[in-house]
Chain A
Amino acid sequence: MIRFENVGLRYGMGPEILRDINFHLLPGSFHFLTGPSGAGKTSLLRLLFMALRPSRGLIFLFGQSLMECRTSERAELRRRIGVVFQDFKLLDHLTTWQNVALPLRVSGRNESDYRDDVTELLKWVGLGERMHALPPLLSGGEKQRAAIARAVIGKPELLLADEPTGNVDPQMANRLLRLFVELNRLGTSIVMATHDSQLMEQFGAPQLVLHDGQLMIRE
C-alpha cells in the first residue's frame, strides 16, 4: 500500500526535516502518526498525498512509484486517497453539501448517483441541518466534521488525517473515530496524525513516531 525507501525531505536549501524514512504499510492497516510539534508529521502526510516531492529516496503508493507518475496518474492516485486537513481546507463559496460532494463531482460522477450518499453522510456526522450553510458560518467542530465527511465520501483506499479530532468534543471525537474504524474494517488503510496519547492507547493501533526527523515504528 505505502512504501518509503530512504526518503529525505528538505525545504529549499534548509536542513533535512525528514531523514532516511523507511516503512511499509500494508493494505487495511491502521496507524497513528505521532511525535512532538514540528517533528514533520504534516510534511510526511504531504508527501503521502503528493503535495510535496521528496528531496531523495523513493515513495511507492498502491504499488506505483511516485517519481514515475505523470500528472494525470497522480490525479487518479489521489482519488484513491482521502485527506483530512488540520485547517480543513473547505471552499468558502460552496455549501457544506457541495464541499463534501466535491471529490465525487471532480471524478465526473452524476449528482443523482451520489446525492443521497452525501446527504446521508452529512446527517451521520451531525451536519444534517447545516448542509446548506457556507463554511464561514460553521463552527470549528462543524468544519472539522465537514472536512472528514469530504475525505471519506469517496470510500478511499487510504485515509490520511491530520489531527482530525482536534476541534470536536470527546463524544463527537469518539463517534468520528468509530467511523474511521468502520472504514478500516471495510479495507481502508488509515494513517492518523495525532498528539492524543489517550486516544492512541484506547485504540491500540501501531504508531509511527517521528522524532528529530527520523521515524520509528511502535507496535
Chain B
Amino acid sequence: MSWAGILKPDTWVDSVKASSWMGLAEAFMPRTMRDTSNPIVPPDSVSGRALTVVIAIMCFLACLTAGAVYMVYQSAAAWSQDLASEITVQINPAKDVDLDKQVTLISLFLAKQAGIDRVSPLTADQSAALLEPWLGQNAEITALPVPRLIAVELDRSQPPNLDALRSALESTFPAAKLDDHRRWQAEIRTVTRSLALGGVTVLILVATATISTIVTATRSAMASNREIIEVLHIVGAKDRFIATEFEKHFLIVGIRAGLMGALAAAFVFILMPIFLRSLGQGSLAAAEFRRLLGPAALDPQGYLVLVLVVIIVATLCKLTSRYGVYSILKSNE
C-alpha cells in the first residue's frame, strides 16, 4: 500500500511540497541521509576513545608476547635442527694412548660409515679454545688432559642408526664416546616449552583483561545509550538486532585498536635489530639476546602472527559485547 493513497494533498503545503523542485533538491542531499549503514550506537564518544586506547595497549602487549614466543620457537627449532644434524665423538685421554693417532683412526672409521656427510676432527688447540670462556686465555690449558673432539655431520636424508654406530665405535675404540645431543635437544625443548607456557600465560592474562574491559565498556555503553535501547525496543527491535548493533560498534573498536597495537608492536620488532646493533657486538646482554632470539627480527610468518592477534582481539571484542548485551537485556526484562 503506497502512502499516496493515505496522504491526501491539501492546499497550503502540497502544492509546493509535491512540486518537482523537491526531486531536484533531493539529488543534492547528502547520501548519509539515507544511509542505514549509519550506526545506531553512536560511534564516537569519550568512553569509546578511552576504550580504543586500552584495547590498543592490550593488543600491543599481546603482539609483543606472541612475536617474542614465535622468535624463540624459531630459534629453538633452528638449534634443534643443528643439534639433530650433528653428533660429537669425544676421545678421553688415557695413559699410553696417542690421542692424535686415535683421532685420526676414529675419523677414518667414521668416514667409512653410511649416513655420514662430513667428519671434522678438532685440533688440540681448537678443543682448548672451547674451554677458554671458563678457564681464560691460559697457555697451560694444552698441558691439561683435555678430551679431543670430532664433529660429525649426518646425512639428514639417510641418517645412520646411531645406536649401532655407537656400539661399533665404542667396541672398536674404548676411549671414544658418542654424544648424539639428545640431552641438549631435550633441554632446548624444555626451555622452549617453558617460554611458550610463559607467553601463553601472558596472552591469557591479556585476554582476560581485555574481556573484563569490554564487559565493563559494554555495560557503560548500554547505560549511556539506555534511551536508544528503549527507543529500539519500542519500535520493535529484537534483542538480536540490538546485540548486533552493539557488536558492530565493538568490532570496529576492536579492529581499530587491534591494528594500532599491532602496528606499534611491528614497529618495535622492526627497530629491535637496529637497537641491538647499537648496543655493540661486545655487549654481553646483546650477545645473550642474539643467542636466545637469533637475529631478533620477525620473518613474514611472524608478522602474520601479529595479524592473527588482531583478528583474535577483534573477535574477542565482538563476542564479549554480544554476550554482555544479551545478559544485560535479559536482566532488564
Contacts and interface: CB of A to CB of B under 8 A. Distances in A.
Interface residues of B, number: 41
A198 interface: no
A34 interface: no
Contact of A78 (B12, B14, B36, B236): B236
Interface in A108-126: 108, 111, 115, 117, 119-121, 123-124, 126
Interface string A73-109: 0011011010100000101011101100111011110
B234 interface: yes
Interface string A170-202: 010001001100110010000000000000000
A11 to B, nearest CB: 17
A131 interface: yes
A123 B230 contact: no
A115 B29 CA distance: 14
Contacts of A111: 34, 36
B333 A71 contact: yes
A182 B235 contact: no
Contacts of B32: 95, 132
Nearest to A171: B12
Contacts, number: 107
B3 A132 contact: no
B174 interface: no
A150 B235 contact: yes
B34 A117 contact: no
B130 interface: no
Contacts of A106: 232, 235-238, 241
Contacts of B239: 71-72, 75
Contacts of B25: 128-129
B4 interface: yes
B136 interface: no
Contacts of B42: 93
B17 interface: yes
Of A76, A89, A93, A179, most buried by chain B (CB within 10 Å of CB) is: A93
Interface in B101-146: none
A183 B8 CA distance: 11
B8 A119 contact: no
A116 to B, nearest CB: 8
Contact of B8 (A89, A94, A178): A178
Contacts of A93: 42
A120 B4 contact: yes
A78 B230 contact: no
B3 A131 contact: no
Contacts of A123: 17-18, 22
Contacts of A124: 3, 7, 13-14, 17
A107 B236 contact: yes
B227 interface: yes
A101 B13 CA distance: 22
B40 A83 contact: no
Closest 10 CB pairs of A and B: A79-B236, A106-B237, A132-B33, A124-B7, A103-B235, A78-B236, A75-B238, A93-B42, A120-B3, A111-B36
Given A119-B26, A132-B30, 17 more contacts: A49-B234, A71-B238, A71-B333, A72-B238, A78-B236, A95-B32, A98-B38, A102-B232, A106-B238, A111-B34, A120-B3, A123-B18, A129-B25, A132-B29, A154-B236, A178-B8, A182-B7
